[in-house]
Amino acid sequence: MTLCTHGDGVDVLTAAELIVLADRSMPGFERGNLRDWILRSALGCTGRANSALPIGDPGLGIGPAIRAVESWYDERGRGAIFQVFESADDLDDELTTRGYAASEPTEVYWASVEGVRIGEPGTAVVHRRIPPAFHSLVGDRDRVSEITAAPLPRLVAVAGDDAGLSVGCGMAVVDGEAAGIFAMRTAVDAWGQGVGTRVLAALVRAAGEQGVNNLWLQVERSNMRAREWYERIGFQRVDAYRYWRPSTPANG
């Protein structure tokens, strides 16, 4: 993977590289291709594992390509979803014409491991297998199945409270020298107690020990509190995407 280097010598993942990493981190259970476009299907819980990724040349005109994607998902008993990145081809007009509506944007952030300014992990413990606490905090078993489907190493951090109860978790999916951060969860009763900081600190340290140099994560644009925190500790915005879903009976 080729990295872009800033003037300070820090290698930065490009938007194109992050798109590839994001796809590999949650590939779905079934995959198809329309030349360069990638089609993914799983249990219907997450957008990424159940959407088309229209990057590059589909080998058809845009209209016929969208219809081919719709047919692929029709065969699997669901409507087509398109994950469209801001840095990629603009399908907005065509999808709008065909009755699709866009979700709110999700921002994609990058940071170097050395550049993350965060405290010590404290009592957060890192696991190489999915512990029961992760299931209880994430909740949906099918969702856990989708976000852990990638055949890549993963690190799961779990933070406990003074009573020994698990109150926070997060997961890093390691792909070479990069790791994506997923499923950051804090129990409602533990909000505002620095649980997320402990979990992320544990993941950053463990990933660095595995030779990871680059971290990336995603957060909804409307979640200003989380975005401001990530930016404060060293993450920078690289790209964003929206999910386009059918909004009319004809397409849905």
Q: What is the CATH number of the domain that holds 205?
A: 3.40.630.30
What pLDDT is stored for residue 140 in this prediction?
A: 86
What are the tens digits of pLDDT across the range 109-151? 999 999 999 987 777 999 999 999 999 999 889 999 999 999 9
Same domain, 103 and 119: no
- Of the pLDDT bands very low, low, confident and very high (cuts 50, 70, 90), residue 13 is confident
**Amino acid at the residue 88:** A
3-state secondary structure of 235: coil
234, part of any domain: no
Domain that holds residue 19: 12-107+240-246
What are the tens digits of pLDDT across the range 166-215? 999 999 999 999 999 999 999 999 888 899 999 999 999 999 999 999 99
218, part of any domain: no
State how many domains the chain has: 2
Decide if pLDDT at 251 tops 70: no
199, part of any domain: yes
4, part of any domain: no
Same domain, 77 and 145: no
Nearest to 29 by CA among 53, 46, 6, 12: 46
Specify the higher pLDDT residue, 6 or 21.
21
What are the tens digits of pLDDT across the range 57-111? 999 999 999 999 999 999 999 999 999 999 887 799 999 999 999 999 999 999 9
For the entire predicted model, the pTM comes to: 0.89
Decide if pLDDT at 3 tops 80: no
- Of the pLDDT bands very low, low, confident and very high (cuts 50, 70, 90), residue 4 is very low
What integer is the mean pLDDT of 43-56? 95
Same domain, 149 and 93: no
Decide if pLDDT at 242 tops 80: yes
28, part of any domain: yes
CB contact set of 162 (below 8 Å; sequence gap of 6+): none
Same domain, 123 and 95: no
d(CA 20, CA 173) in angstroms, rounded, equals 13
Contact between residue 246 and residue 78 where contact means Cβ atoms under 8 Å apart: no
18, part of any domain: yes
Same domain, 90 and 125: no
Contact between residue 134 and residue 147 where contact means Cβ atoms under 8 Å apart: no
252, part of any domain: no
